[in-house]
Amino acid sequence: MSEVVTYSREGAIGVITVNYPPVNALGHAVRSGLLAAVEQGQADGEAQVLLLVCEGRTFMAGADIREFGKPMQEPGLPQVIDAFENCRKPVVAAIHGTALGGGLETALGCHYRIALTSAKVGLPEVKLGLLPGAGGTQRLPRLTGAQKALEMITTGDFVAAPQALELGIVDALDDGKDAKAAGLAFAQSIADEGKPVRRVRDLTDKVEADKGSAIFDQFRAGLQKKARGLFSPFKCVDAVEAAFNLPFDDGMTRERELFMECMESPQRAGLIHAFFSEREVSKVPGLAADTPVRDVKSVGIIGAGTMGGGIAMNFANVGIPVTIVEVQQEALDRGLAIIRRNYENSAKKGRVTQAQVEERMALIKTSLSYDDFKDVDLVIEAVFENMAIKKEIFAKLDEVCKPGAILASNTSTLDIDEIASATKRPEDVVGMHFFSPANVMKLLENVRGSKTSDEVKATVMAVAKTIKKVGVLVGNCHGFVGNRMLHKRGAEAMALVNEGATPQQVDKVLTDLGYPMGQFAMSDLAGIDVGYRIREERRKAGEDVEASWMDKLAEQGRLGQKTQAGVYKYEDGSRAPVVDPAVDQIIADFRTEQGITPREISDQEILERCMYVMINEGAKILEEGIADRALDIDVVWIYGYGFPAYRGGPMFWADQVGLDTILSAVKKYHDSIGGEQWQPSALLDKLVNEGKAFGDL
Ligand code: T1G
């Protein structure tokens, strides 16, 4: 018997127990153990009914994702599930935690299922670029019908146990916390009532009801928008459809074919890299896992603007009281009104109850005095991007806040060390860069200053988890990781339009790559004046910043969505960008003024100059230790800027393009355009010379 799966008997019940932390993933050892255990149960004359349970935090959470991409070791999961399904004794699965993917598929191969009311079930393979590959697309529809099966399998969303009962996915619920006890009692009732073996594969009523339904094409049409650029959701529909067109065994064969197509797609590689990277970033190299973490039970926020309000909501959402300080009461009133409006909108969409809205609003206090910060554990400054103002604020915080309070800035680009220099506690100063809208975007870019203590680093990483953000710890430089790369992309995009491209052509290259919006649509959203002020400040500081047609937009008051016109125009209050011929004229006039003769620019050149300049900068960020690992950069871009997760992040994507291809293009642009941004990164050069990739670091 394997150590991870054991067989025992309790009365007339043969108990198969899986114990493979952390989530009982169905790795080779578990699959072999399950096969042996169900054969043992079959042979055990004393056992009338078999029970499958798991130890630890959850029922099986799916195939072991770490095995993907490696040669599959027998027995495969479908074979294991067949053994359960063809067992001549009734088999009961007792579900707790999250029965996901292959875990739920194994439960569907059992004859009966009981779940703790607190449990959830799901088939989230689509989120990994896959589809349920162990019968889920064939068995689930036989219990739920086409509509619900298609919804669950194409979204990967989890379903709570009570709803799973309604859908027929489970047969009973138990309000307790002990899945084994619930399972034993349920199995005993099956034995007492002499209930038969009931194979899901033999159920036909739902299949008959939806045979020939138009629902499959309707789902395909709906996915055109929802799953733009994705591969596996469409394969999910094909696989579920096979359950309604083919006998079970043929349907299983079709599912396997489609599963292998997904397994071989680069999107599966990208999504699994994103899955593990999202978890890896919380393990900061050089920061001991047992570094003490300070309690953060109350938070102060300076600034009730869009960012301050959004940041406040993150803490109120998890029950942490927040005090917002502003210099004027009307700013506080305005900020609080925006917060309430955001919550009311969420309530209208059913994301929160009205009671939760009131609970959260009650946790957000306002004040005009820093004195209200004297007991808080963490203060986050979220005011205008001006160093003098920030230093003044931090000097005041240093006086008011208690020893051990963490002083954080939400600055998106400015020097954390310089901010810290305004205090006598630089070890307690850190950057916490939220992304707008701060109550929605998952990324929290935590920025360590040169004196930030390990305890403060560990604490802000723990705060990220508490407020359900993906925290990435990065070093201190202009723009940190995300914006430093974004500024390079933005400068190239602007230059490409100076030289002859149109804004919409540039944006389309980026949205075709999978970004949710292009460079200029994003500028309109953020505000053209933001970039304009940064360029003007850099010019005042004596930097040689190239003139741009976007300066003309700002000077003409075309600031973006907030003025209904920027790079694009926005009609009737819509946020959909519409190409504006007036902008073409502004660009043409600018070119004339600058003596530029526009030229035809290819989409490939746009892709290379926007993306490769970012990769080159990312390599420099790694060289300088601003990011510890390439995967940190990938996570920053997926969760902060919408880089398509199915491409794994910019650095993972670069590895797939080929670093030699990228380096030769960087050298080409260094020769033709020049500038430090095209100075080839030494790390990029080294990796190419050694035939390595970012993934080898
Ligand atoms: N395989 C391997 N490791 C896994 C894993 C998995 N399926 N799921 C989680 N882990 C690790 C994770 O890397 C982390 O490791 C630890 O467990 C805790 O995870 C044939 C082909 C279960 C809801 O997609 O959604 O079945 O960092 O930090 O927030 O059709 O993990 O501690 O070293 O996320 O409480 C389908 C993916 C697979 C489920 C728990 N299953 N996992 O969330 O903890 S494909 C999934 C999750 C499949 C079949 C197909 C979540 C969770 P470490 P965590 P959590």
23 lines ligand 1 (CB under 6 A): yes
Residue with tokens 């194409």: 154
| pLDDT (mean) for 475-490 | 94
Residue to mutate (ligand 1; options 18, 20, 23; most atoms within 8 A of CB): 23
CB count within 10 Å of CB 642 equals 15
Question: Would the CB of 62 count as within 6 Å of ligand 1?
Answer: yes
> Which whole number is the average pLDDT over 424-445?
95
pLDDT in tens, 523-566: 998 889 888 888 888 888 888 888 889 999 999 999 999 899 99
CA separation for the pair 510, 4 (Å, rounded): 47
- Same structural domain for residues 571 and 678? no
Predicted pLDDT of residue 677: 96
Clarify whether residues 523 and 573 are in a common domain. yes
- Residue whose Cα lies nearest atom 9 of ligand 1: it is 23
H-only helix segments in 89-178: 102-109, 136-144, 146-155, 161-167
Mean pLDDT of 202-229: 90
Q: Are 388 and 411 a contacting pair, CB within 8 Å? A: no
Mean pLDDT calculated for residue range 266-271:
93
CA angle 70, 71, 77 (to 5 degrees): 100
CATH code of 659's domain: 1.10.1040.50
Average pLDDT, the chain: 95
Task: Please give the helix or strand (H or E) that residue 630 lies within, else none.
Answer: helix 630-641
CB atoms closer than 10 angstroms to residue 440: 11
430, 434, 438, 444: CA torsion to nearest 10:
-100
pLDDT of residue 538: 82
Active-site residue (options: 46, 55, 67, 105): 105
Q: Are 47 and 83 in contact (CB under 8 A)?
A: no
Q: Are residues 126 and 249 in the same domain?
A: yes
Dihedrals φ, ψ of 549, to 5°? -65, -25
Predicted complex ipTM: 0.97
The pTM assigned to this predicted structure is 0.91
Q: Does 121 sit in the ligand 1 pocket, CB within 6 Å?
A: no
| In a shared domain, residues 684 and 617 | yes
257 belongs to the catalytic site: no
Helix/strand/coil for 470 = strand
Q: How far is the CA of 65 from the centre of ligand 1 (A)?
A: 7
Nearest atom in ligand 1 to the alpha carbon of residue 131 is 30
The pLDDT, as a whole number, for residue 1 is: 56
Residue-level pLDDT at 98: 98
Among 257, 191, 273, residue whose Cα is nearest residue 15:
191
Where are the extended beta strands (E) located within 303-435? 322-325, 364-367, 378-381, 406-409, 429-434
Residues 307 and 447 in one domain: yes
- Which of 212, 246, 264 is the last residue in one of the domains? 264
**Within-domain flag for 402:** yes
Give the tens place of pLDDT for each residue, 9-23: 999 999 999 999 999
Q: How far is the CA of 514 from the centre of ligand 1 (A)?
A: 25
Residue 493 forms part of a structural domain? no
Please tell me the residue having the least CA distance from ligand 1 atom 42: 61
654 lies in the same domain as 506: no
Same domain for 111 and 241, yes or no, is yes
Domain final residue, candidates 207, 237, 264:
264
Cα-Cα-Cα-Cα dihedral sign, residues 114, 131, 512, 683 = positive
Indicate which CATH number applies to the domain containing 321. 3.40.50.720
Dump pLDDT digits (tens) for 388-407: 999 999 999 999 999 999 99
* Separation CA 374–CA 80 (nearest Å): 61
C-alpha–C-alpha distance, residues 668 and 237, integer Å: 44
The reported pLDDT for the residue numbered 492 is 95
Q: Answer yes or no: do 519 and 571 share one domain.
A: yes
Is residue 140 in some structural domain?
A: yes
Local structure of 579: helix, strand or coil? strand
Instruction: Assess if residue 494 is contained within a domain.
Output: no
Question: Do 153 and 255 belong to one domain?
Answer: yes
Are 669 and 549 within one domain? no
- Domain termination site, one of 549, 572, 594: 594
- Tell me the CA–centroid distance for residue 278 and ligand 1, in Å: 11
Does 66 sit in the ligand 1 pocket, CB within 6 Å?
Answer: yes
Considering only CA atoms, which residue is closest to atom 16 of ligand 1?
22
Q: Is the peptide bond before 22 cis (omega within 30 degrees of 0)?
A: yes
Residues spanned by the domain of 368:
299-478
Give how many domains the chain has, as a whole number: 4
How far does Cα 156 stand from its chain's mean position?
14
Cα 133 to its chain centre, rounded Å, is: 23
Per-residue confidence band for 69, with pLDDT thresholds at 50, 70 and 90? confident
Most informative mutation of 65, 258, 261 for ligand 1 (most atoms within 8 A of CB):
65
Looking at the predicted structure, is the pLDDT value of residue 68 above 90? no
Does the Cβ of 153 fall within 6 Å of ligand 1?
Answer: no
Which residue intervals of 436-572 are DSSP H helices?
454-466, 482-499, 503-513, 519-526, 528-540, 549-555
Mean pLDDT on 588-598:
94
Alpha carbon nearest to ligand 1 atom 47, residue: 61
Residues present in the chain in total: 697
* 156 CB near ligand 1 (under 6 Å): no
Q: Report pLDDT for 449.
A: 97
Indicate if ligand 1 lies below 6 Å from the C-beta of 134.
Answer: yes
CATH number at 206 reads 3.90.226.10
Q: Is 22 in the pocket of ligand 1 (CB under 6 A)?
A: yes
Asked whether 461 and 471 are in contact (CB, 8 A), the reply is: yes
- Looking at the fold, whether 331 and 441 belong to one and the same domain comes out as yes
- Verify whether ligand 1 is closer than 6 Å to residue 77 (CB atom): yes
420 neighbors 394 (Cβ within 8 angstroms): yes
CA of 23 to the centre of ligand 1 (A): 7
* Residue 483 belongs to a domain: no
**DSSP-derived pairing of the beta strands 406-409 and 429-434:** parallel
Q: Which atom of ligand 1 is nearest to the CA of 105?
A: 30
How many A from CA of 264 to the centre of ligand 1? 20
Whether 65 is in the pocket of ligand 1, judged by its Cβ within 6 Å, is: yes
Residue 277 located in a structural domain: no
* DSSP code for 414: S
Angle between helices 136-144 and 102-109 (to 10 degrees): 60
Question: Is ligand 1 within 6 A of the CB of residue 236?
Answer: no
**Ligand 1 in reach of 655 Cβ (< 6 A):** no
Per-residue pLDDT tens digits for 318-335: 999 999 999 999 999 999
Mean pLDDT of 288-314: 95
In-domain check, residue 293: no
**Whether residue 466 sits in one domain with residue 365:** yes
Residue of 85, 125, 445, 492 with catalytic role: 125
Nearest CA, atom 10, ligand 1: 23
Q: What is the pLDDT of residues 84-130, one digit of tens each?
A: 999 999 999 999 999 999 999 999 999 999 999 999 999 999 999 99
Assess if residue 260 is contained within a domain. yes
Whether residue 105 has its Cβ less than 6 Å from ligand 1: yes
Share of the chain above pLDDT 90, in %: 90
Q: Determine which residue's CA is closest to atom 34 belonging to ligand 1.
A: 279
- Which token pair is 545? 């910043």
Q: From ligand 1's centre to the CA of 12, what distance in Å? A: 34
Q: pLDDT-derived band of residue 195, with 50, 70 and 90 as boundaries?
A: very high
Q: pLDDT grade, residue 226 (50/70/90)?
A: confident
Q: Is residue 380 predicted with pLDDT exceeding 80?
A: yes
pLDDT band at 511 (very low <50, low <70, confident <90, very high): very high
Active site residue 125: yes
Q: Rounded mean pLDDT of 149-176?
A: 97
